Amino acid sequence: MKKKILFKYILLLFYFIFFQSCNFHDKENNNIKPNLDSLSLWIKNSKNPKNSLIRKRQYLDKSYNFIISNKIDTVNLKKLSDVAYQTFKVKDTFLFKKRNKKVIELALKIKDSFSLGDAHWNYATYYNKIRDFEKSYYHFNEAEKYFKNYKYYVGKMLVGKAFIKGRFSDYIGSEQNIIKAIKIFKELKKDNDLLNSYTSLGVIQSDLKLYDKSLFYYQKALEYSSKVKNNSKLDLNNNIGLIYLKKGNYQKARLFFDKGLDLTLKQDKPLSYARILDNYAYCKLLIRDTLGIKEDFFKALAIRDSLKNKDGILISKIHLAEYYKFSEDTLKAKKYALDANKIANSIKNSRDYLASLKILVSLDEEKSKLYLKDYISYSDSLLNVERNYQNKFARISHDTDEYIEETERLAKQRIWVTLISLSTILIIILFYFLRVQKVKNEKLLLETEQQKSNEQIYLLTLKQQSKLEEEKLKERNRISEELHDGILGRLFGARVGLGFIEINCNEKNKKQYQLFLDELQNVEKEIRDVSHKLSDNFDNAEINFTFIIKQLVIDKSKVGDFKYSIYFDENINWYQIDEVVKVNLYRIIQEVIQNIIKYANATLVSIKFSLKNNNLVLSLSDDGIGFNIKKKKNGIGIKNIKSRVQKLNGICKISSSFNNGVEINIEIPLN
């Protein structure tokens, strides 16, 4: 509790010092009363990439408060619109909407058409970013109306509207808007905007499959790229390469892609480098030159993945699917095609979604009809969607009020659909999780029961073996008694009887007689020795357990091709050791040897049983490859060993290092 209180005081102290330093810095900057120059400086600092996100927001807050607290005129309103846009740039969506709404309210009051157009442009940019193209087009259209006296900005709005129309295959409408914008930019000599406009025209012609016309516009864009200072030439070369790729002129396409494969581009513009590298590899695939293209595909994918460029990742996976299809690796081709299909669906990329379906049709014979059906269905629905959007864009230009009502209704509907979908998904995930847990619990229960059953079977086997040994012992004692009391007694009687018989014969016969008596005596002695050996009792429990262990090691040594040494301390009274302990010791040795065979590549295995302070000690070691205990997590085998030792209230120590084998020491208390 004391530590928590101390920690809170430290946090409060840090908070006080930090914000006091910030306030001091602000006061230092505000010794002179803030003016328009100060405001311009704050806005400039909010755009400085060297400043942190928090610092940028502080500058924007100061700028906003300063503008609101002063008289609103056209100059301040333009700056307020800039503050709202920069708030969007620092990813504060809620505050951006609030401030942009304030701009529109104030602009309507003083009838500032430029600020109204700028505010609608801010909204258009925001909704374009979140892919709400209907609202984005509406605000571009509104901004164009308010910018009617500002030609350059009218051109910018035309380009924005053209982009959205192109997204929904309204290529004619898109082309018309771009051409109108080009006329404005030419009149105003805006080379950078002309470069972008001609590039857009090239893209439109490419989508219309008018490749020669597309090349014409790209060449025009190249002319303007030489007049501006940027890296647009590299992207243009990539686009031109794609046109030659679509025309089937792969060698020429390869030349244009090759121009962009510069290592400096990899550092300065990694996304452009990844795009060119991927297209270059794909071009080589089409001309059946597969040398190094797999590595290039994966390099491009890695860059795009690190930058979370979903559109790029999607293209990379489509190209990888085609590569593995060419390599006749159907499984991998299908995997990447399915990945591409999911990504395209998630980011609503219709073109590449259809492309992924097309690949899947050729890869999966079982589902080809289903994929083909989806392809046709989606293609048809896409045409309907595009027509609907084109009609909506036309209606927006004539009746914005109707559009607002419709989009608000659709927005609410989307919210409900999203909420219902999320709720359904969460319920499904919950049921799935519960099901998985139930299956796991059942599996663990089954394994526990199986383990108990195995131990019971082993105990019964030991008892059966013990009874068998007892019967053997009884039989040996019976034979010993028969030899000693029966046969030996009769032989003794016969020998004694022969000794009393007087034989009157020559010296030679007497010697022969004496030899027979001696031989009978020797036979008696041998029978007596055999009888004594048979009657010697021994610890059958010791023989049972040690025999089973030895037999286990012998059998496993043949499988694992290793030598072994086994030592049993003679002071261990196996008869007094509990059968459960024996069962677990047997299972531990079995598990260790199995691991040695699978992983260790050992040539010698040592097993030793000894006594230490009334503890039974089992030591197992091998001369195998070993492993790093710190790096390698405990596997199921090691967990089972430790679990068995813990169940017997014992201690288990495992030591190993690379190329030094493994040593396991187990101590189990004997009650």
Q: Once rounded to an integer, what is the mean pLDDT over residues 126-140? A: 90
Is 525 buried (19+), middle (13-18) or exposed (0-12) by CB count in 10 A? Answer: exposed
Cβ atoms within 10 A of the Cβ of 569, count?
Answer: 12
Residue 549 maps to a domain: yes
* 569 shares its domain with 558: yes
Six-digit token pair at 376? 């046709």
* 510 shares its domain with 579: no
* 544 shares its domain with 664: yes
DSSP bridge partners of 513: none
Residue 237 maps to a domain: no
Kindly write down the DSSP assignment for every residue of 449-461, as one continuous string.
HHHHHHHHHHHHH
Q: What are phi and psi of 566, to 5 degrees?
A: -125, 130
Six-digit token pair at 118? 């700028």
Q: Once rounded to an integer, what is the mean pLDDT over residues 203-228? A: 90
Residue 220 maps to a domain: no
Six-digit token pair at 567? 């030592």
Q: Report the percentage of the chain scoring pLDDT > 90.
A: 35
Cβ–Cβ under 8 Å, residues 645 and 668: yes
Residue 575 has, within 13 A of its CA and on its CB side, a CA count of 9
Measure CA of the first residue to CA of the last residue in the chain; give whole Å: 45
Six-digit token pair at 136? 């984005």
pTM for the model stands at 0.52
> What are the residues whose beta carbons fall under 8 Å from the beta carbon of 639, sequence distance 6 or more?
none
Residue 553 maps to a domain: yes
What is the radius of gyration, based on Cα positions, of the chain? 46
* 576 shares its domain with 664: yes
Q: What share of the chain is helix, strand, coil (3-state, %, to 5)?
A: 75, 5, 15
* 49 shares its domain with 118: yes
Strand ranges across the sheet with 651-656: 563-568, 604-612, 615-622, 662-669, 651-656
* 7 shares its domain with 39: no
What residue numbers bound the domain in which 608 lies? 540-669
Between CA 552 and CA 573 the distance in angstroms is 21
* 505 shares its domain with 557: no
Higher per-residue pLDDT: 404 or 411? 411
* 558 shares its domain with 617: yes
Cβ atoms within 10 A of the Cβ of 229, count?
Answer: 7
Q: Mean pLDDT score of the chain, rounded to an integer? A: 81
8-state DSSP, 576: G
pLDDT of 353 reads 83
Domain boundary among 149, 167, 184: 149
pLDDT of 463 reads 64
DSSP bridge partners of 669: 615
Distances (CA, A) of 124 to 44, 84, 93, 351, 457: 23, 13, 14, 24, 77
User: 3-state class of 402 per DSSP?
Assistant: helix
Is 159 buried (19+), middle (13-18) or exposed (0-12) by CB count in 10 A? Answer: buried
Provide the number of structural domains found in the chain.
4
* 552 shares its domain with 662: yes
Give residue 362's Cα distance to chain centre: 29
pLDDT of 480 reads 66
Residue 284 maps to a domain: no
- Which of 184-193, 271-280, 508-517 bottoms out in mean pLDDT, i.e. has the lowest? 508-517
pLDDT of 374 reads 79
Domain boundary among 535, 567, 587: 535
* 647 shares its domain with 564: yes
Residue 194 maps to a domain: no
Stretch (H or E) spanning 61: helix 53-68
Supply the CATH number for residue 585's domain.
Answer: 3.30.565.10
Tens digits of residue pLDDT in 476-487: 666 766 666 656
Place of tokens 């771009």: 178
Residue 295 maps to a domain: no
Sign of CA dihedral 5, 10, 14, 20: positive
Higher per-residue pLDDT: 638 or 2? 638
Place of tokens 């699917």: 321
Q: Which candidate, 667, 630, 662, 664, places its Cα nearest to that of 648?
A: 667
Tens digits of residue pLDDT in 642-666: 888 888 899 999 888 888 889 999 9
Q: Which candidate, 212, 223, 278, places its Cα nearest to that of 249?
A: 212
Residue 362 maps to a domain: no
pLDDT of 390 reads 62
Is 178 buried (19+), middle (13-18) or exposed (0-12) by CB count in 10 A? Answer: buried
Tens digits of residue pLDDT in 339-376: 999 998 888 888 888 888 888 888 877 888 887 887 78
* 603 shares its domain with 573: yes
Cβ–Cβ under 8 Å, residues 572 and 611: yes
Tens digits of residue pLDDT in 570-594: 888 887 888 888 888 888 998 899 8
Domain boundary among 149, 183, 201: 149
- Which of 319-328, 346-355, 395-404, 520-529 bottoms out in mean pLDDT, i.e. has the lowest? 395-404
Give residue 518's Cα distance to chain centre: 91
* 135 shares its domain with 41: yes
The model's confidence at residue 632, banded by pLDDT at 50, 70 and 90, is low
Supply the CATH number for residue 126's domain.
Answer: 1.25.40.10
Kindly write down the DSSP assignment for every residue of 594-611, as one continuous string.
HHIIIII--SEEEEEEEE
